[in-house]
Amino acid sequence: MDRSSSVRLTKTVAEKAEVRDARYDIWDLELTGFGLRVEKSGTKTFIIRYRTDGGGRSAPRRFLTVGRFGTLTVDQARKKAKILLGAAASGEDPAGDVQEKRREKTVRELLDFYEEHGCFIQRGIHKGKPMKPTTKQYTMARLRNHFEALLGHRRASEINSGDIETMVADITAGKTAKDEKVGPRKRIIVRGGEGAARKVVRDVSAVFSFGARHGFATTNPVENASVRKTDNRRERFLTLEEVSRLGEAFDQAETDGANPKAVAIARLWALTGCRRNEIAALKVHEVKLDQSLFEFDDTKTGKSIRPFGPAAAALLAELLKDRKSGYVFPAETGDGYYQSTRKVWAEVIKIAKLHGVTPHTLRHTLGSTATSSGEALALTGAILGHANLRSTAIYAHVQRDPSLEAAKRVEKLLAAALEGKVPNEKGDDATDATPELDADLIRVLAERLSKEGADAARLRAIIAQVVALNT
């Protein structure tokens, strides 16, 4: 089928409609103006198209959603479309009427609509894809606990930039913060502050962009609001001396009777730079000890392959000695994974006198240690599992040996620090870690990328980028 094609719409046609790189429409031969829209995300929606004022070539063309395939059958959608198209032929404007009604909706109702039909990634290479369940959960929690709590009763179309500025000030001041017990062993903890305000602003901007496309508002009030949307502060990371203190704190916590699972998880955070739940929820089959690799089924950036060094391998080998399946760190009870690291972590950073340090700080620490010891940004990105094209796309189809060797070099520094052996910045250990992008590696890159179909100009650009990133 072309980008816009015609066929008699049936259940079979709708089910077999393929997902493409761009949205396309299939129009029904039986009912003119009735069609099926297939989004690149895979969503299939029944639509109608018509001209206002009873028709005519000069009249504006309108599109209106009838309903989703699956919620409505083809026959149900066709009957509904026939009524709407009949109204349009009589001079009515169904789409305009819908937009007017939507502009009367409150922020709370807009959020309901966004939660059901929105929650898609709006930027980057994953644009159009649904949020991961946990991402959607956290996003909607922020929106409900802050945005809805402050402005939920207001009409969405009436929210202006001043309202956004006031909302940010209120969140920053802690007006939406709460600690509420909602059941046995369950609490709702909502934290305010500047960081929370920035995240909420980004979420609200996405909601209004979505809302404007669907007739809830005409503009996005966040765009002109005088608020900080990003954090330009330098990310916190640990020096090797601080990592050494952290290692001593791990040992002390174990001596004091801390759960060994919690300590082992924290050690792997430090040694691998993996995200909190990538380690806590690590599955046995995701650990490839013989290759020194993690093969994660699902991460923030999708499936991901991550190298690790000998110290992490030794720790993992001990953990997997009597475990063949399931989680590496199973819960004390039930079938889930161990999630009680918070208390132990708080004790560890107290012992180490590292106030404000979080598990994510260890991820920044590995990145900082890697780049400061001379590792190329591309290799650092490969270790951390970044989806940033500048740093990792080049290595996506290349042998993993360079990133594995880099992981070993960086881990050597961190493992030594955890054991209290902090290398001299000007010593041998510091200089040994500096890799070079040599002619052989560039040749391998060129050969592999050529097989992928890259032309000479593209190859030169990619190699130049690799060299630039390494200098």
> Rounded distance, CA 430 to CA 373, Å?
6
On whether the CB atoms of residues 98 and 215 are closer than 8 A, the answer is yes
> Rounded distance, CA 399 to CA 280, Å?
28
List all residues 6 or more positions away from 270 whose beta carbon is below 8 Å from its beta carbon. Answer: 243, 246, 362, 365, 366, 414, 418
Give the pLDDT confidence of 59-109 residue by residue, as tens digits.
Answer: 788 888 898 998 899 999 999 999 988 888 888 888 777 766 777 889 999
Give the pLDDT confidence of 165-214 residue by residue, as tens digits.
Answer: 999 999 999 999 988 776 666 677 888 888 889 999 999 999 999 888 88
> Rounded distance, CA 141 to CA 159, Å?
20
List all residues 6 or more positions away from 101 whose beta carbon is below 8 Å from its beta carbon. Answer: none
Give the pLDDT confidence of 206-253 residue by residue, as tens digits.
Answer: 999 988 888 888 889 999 898 876 654 556 788 888 999 999 999 999
Length of the chain: 471
Q: Is the pLDDT of residue 1 over 70?
A: no
Closest to 260 measured CA to CA, from 189, 315, 317, 216: 315
pLDDT category of residue 142 using cuts at 50, 70 and 90:
very high
Rounded to 10 degrees, what is the CA torsion of 417, 408, 398, 379?
Answer: 20
Give the pLDDT confidence of 444-457 residue by residue, as tens digits.
Answer: 666 666 665 655 55
* Alpha helical stretches, state H, 17-106: 74-89, 94-103
Give the rounded distance of the alpha carbon of 62 from its chain centre: 34
On whether the CB atoms of residues 249 and 344 are closer than 8 A, the answer is no
pLDDT category of residue 421 using cuts at 50, 70 and 90:
confident
Beta bridge partners of 4: 25
Closest to 41 measured CA to CA, from 131, 143, 176: 131
Average pLDDT over residues 398-414: 66
> Rounded distance, CA 206 to CA 186, Å?
30
Q: What percent of the chain has pLDDT over 70?
A: 76
Average pLDDT over residues 366-374: 72
Enter the DSSP assignment of 395: G
Strand order in the sheet with 293-299: 287-288, 293-299, 302-307
Closest to 209 measured CA to CA, from 156, 139, 132, 130: 156
Enter the DSSP assignment of 155: B
Residue showing tokens 């909302």: 167
Average pLDDT over residues 284-299: 88
List all residues 6 or more positions away from 39 whose beta carbon is below 8 Å from its beta carbon. Answer: 19, 23, 45, 128
On whether the CB atoms of residues 368 and 237 are closer than 8 A, the answer is yes
H/E stretch holding 288 reads strand 287-288
| Long-range Cβ pairs for the range 109-116 (8 Å, 24+) | 109/156, 110/156, 110/207, 110/211, 110/216, 111/140, 111/143, 111/144, 111/147, 111/148, 111/152, 111/207, 113/211, 113/214, 113/216, 114/143, 114/207, 114/210, 114/211, 115/140
